[in-house]
Structure 1
Amino acid sequence: KGLPPNLMHIPPGCPFHPRCPMAQDVCRTDVPPLYDVTDVDADRGSACHFWRECLHG
């Protein structure tokens, strides 16, 4: 839900944390790396600290 981040004022950490229902403290401070999730879905990546929880949530 919500709007994409303002590209002129991207928040610290994960740019989606203000509108993400799964956001935690780490999301507000650390930009997530791009995780390789090809073992789950071919040729995909996820830049979420909690991609596993999102996938199985």
Structure 2
Amino acid sequence: MLDALFGPVDAPRSAPGAHHCPPTATERDGALALAVALAADQAFETEPPVAVRELVPELWRG
């Protein structure tokens, strides 16, 4: 997963004009990961499961 986010750890630095494979994760993916962590934190405090959609409904708007 870290390779998908940041690229391979031991990859050589690319020279100008060399082929570069960009990371596959987006800002939205990061926001969703943070939302899952926030939902888990709230669930630990309140006991019942917490839906991410309840915490951050804006993530699912068009």
The two structures have a TM-score, normalised by structure 1, of: 0.22
**Largest Rg, 1 or 2:** 2
- Whose helix proportion is higher, 1 or 2? 2
- Whose strand proportion is higher, 1 or 2? 1
The two structures have a TM-score, normalised by structure 2, of: 0.21
